[in-house]
């Protein structure tokens, strides 16, 4: 017995939309935190060039100075 459904869809627009409907997104795995407390992490951070120049003007250790300034702001916000 032959199939009753036509070989081509009756509504081509619906068929095209079905092909291009968004795929279901898979949840990203949870970010694992380091087992060592207070361990440093490498991050990419956008900072205004004048702010970066201010910290770099003090010479080596500018990343530590930025970290200290962020920690002070964090404690102030608590």
Each residue of 58-74: pLDDT tens digit? 999 999 999 999 999 99
pTM of the full structure: 0.53
Q: Please give the full DSSP string across 48-59, using - where no structure is assigned.
A: -HHHHHHHHTT-
pLDDT of residue 20: 81
pLDDT of residue 1: 53
Q: Does residue 58 contact residue 52 with C-beta atoms inside 8 Å?
A: no
What does the buried/exposed string (b/e) look like for 28-56 if buried means 16 or more CB atoms within 10 Å of the residue's CB?
eeeeeeeeeeeeeeeeeeeeeeeeeeebe
Statement: residue 50 has pLDDT above 60:
yes
pLDDT of residue 6: 61
Q: Can you tell me the distance from the alpha carbon of 18 to that of 73, in angstroms, rounded to the nearest whole number?
A: 51
């Amino acid at each position: 017995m032959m199939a009753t459904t036509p070989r081509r869809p009756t509504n081509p627009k619906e068929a095209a939309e079905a092909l291009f409907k968004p795929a279901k997104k898979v949840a990203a795995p949870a970010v694992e935190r380091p087992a060592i407390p207070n361990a440093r992490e490498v991050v990419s951070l956008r900072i205004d060039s004048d702010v970066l120049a201010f910290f770099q003007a003090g010479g080596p250790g500018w990343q530590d100075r930025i970290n200290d300034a962020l920690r002070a702001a964090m404690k102030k916000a608590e």
